[in-house]
Amino acid sequence: MSINNIIVFTNQKGGVGKTTSALNIAAMLALHHKVLLIDLDPQGNATTGSGIEKNTISQSIYDVLLNNADINHTIIPIEKCGYDLLPSNRNLAGAEIELVDAPKREYKLKNSLMNIVNQYDYIIIDCPPSLSLLTLNALCAANKFIVPIQCEYYALEGLADLLSTVSLVQKSINPTLELLGLIRTMFDKRNNLAVEVSNELIKHFGDKLFKTCIPRNIRLAEAPSYGLPAVLLDKDASGSMAYKKLANEIRKKIGNT
């Protein structure tokens, strides 16, 4: 039976660990479930990180969103990662502009997924670092979102903008969208500022903050150059073990252990 959890990893800040989290959580969930990973960032990092050379693919999510390409012919099964991938590359950068005049422009992704949603237990969407039309499409298609946060001074400021955008989306186009949780990424418990920001997050978000913190770990940063999520490349690395724990926390929170 399909569970149909569509989870967006989003934060308009770049370099906070969206792609690293999406890749590693997708790979962990794929050990037990049928998973689709959607790369919604023109930078194509989730595509490269899954071992796909982004400039050689014949069609990408751009063609699905704007050229009516068949999504089934665009999805690539990534055997060594265990999940399917809807890849992206820099063609997607044009989508932002082309979508502006498109009818029902916020619903493009949701409509594209309509025919395949039932094939998957989890659909994971990796967002670009912006509150753009692409991110809006992800928030409209999803029922849950996760916010990776680097515990540093400006982290909370960006968060307020993100949450007010989400609240607009909830009120206008997608009332079923809910915050699954916030992840503390690249966490260094010896750094006083990181601990302070983390305490602020605990105070403001309580149960909505995932208990598992992702430590700063070089293996997480190296893995993309091998075209494999770190949890598959080196499962004993501290970062991999943290993502394994986090994946279990996510499954429990969703009520599917």
Ligand X SMILES: Nc1ncnc2c1ncn2[C@@H]1O[C@H](COP(=O)(O)OP(=O)(O)O)[C@@H](O)[C@H]1O
Catalog residues that contact Mg ion under the rule CB under 5 A.
18-19, 45
Residue 168 engages ligand X in binding (rule: CB under 6 A) = no
Tell me whether residue 28 or residue 121 sits nearer to Mg ion (CB atom).
Answer: 28
Identify whether the C-beta of residue 88 lies closer than 8 Å to the C-beta of residue 46: yes
Both tokens of 179, joined, read 């915050």
Please give the size of the binding site for ligand X, defined by CB under 6 A.
17
Tell me whether residue 19 or residue 135 sits nearer to Mg ion (CB atom).
Answer: 19
Dist CA 78 CA 84 (whole Å): 5
Q: Which does 47 bind (CB under 5 to 8 A by kind): Mg ion, ligand X, none?
A: none
Q: Which does 14 bind (CB under 5 to 8 A by kind): Mg ion, ligand X, none?
A: ligand X
Q: Classify burial at 48, counting beta carbons within 10 Å of its beta carbon; exposed 0-12, middle 13-18, buried 19 or more.
A: buried
Q: Long-range CB contacts (< 8 A, 24+ apart) of 75-81?
A: 75/36, 75/116, 76/52, 78/50, 78/51, 78/52, 80/51, 80/228, 80/232, 81/26, 81/27, 81/30, 81/50, 81/51, 81/228, 81/229, 81/232
User: Looking only at residues 238 through 257 of this chain, which bind ligand X when binding is defined by CB under 6 A?
Assistant: 239
Residue 186 engages ligand X in binding (rule: CB under 6 A) = yes
Residue 185 engages ligand X in binding (rule: CB under 6 A) = yes
Dist CA 37 CA 192 (whole Å): 35
Helix (H, G, I), strand (E, B) or coil at 24: helix
Binding-site string for ligand X from residue 7 to residue 36, where x marks contact by CB under 6 A and - marks none: -------xxxxxxx----------------
Residue 135 engages ligand X in binding (rule: CB under 6 A) = no
User: Looking only at residues 209 through 238 of this chain, which bind ligand X when binding is defined by CB under 6 A?
Assistant: 214, 216-217, 220-221
Residue 105 engages ligand X in binding (rule: CB under 6 A) = no
* Residues binding ligand X (CB under 6 A): 14-20, 45, 129, 185-186, 214, 216-217, 220-221, 239
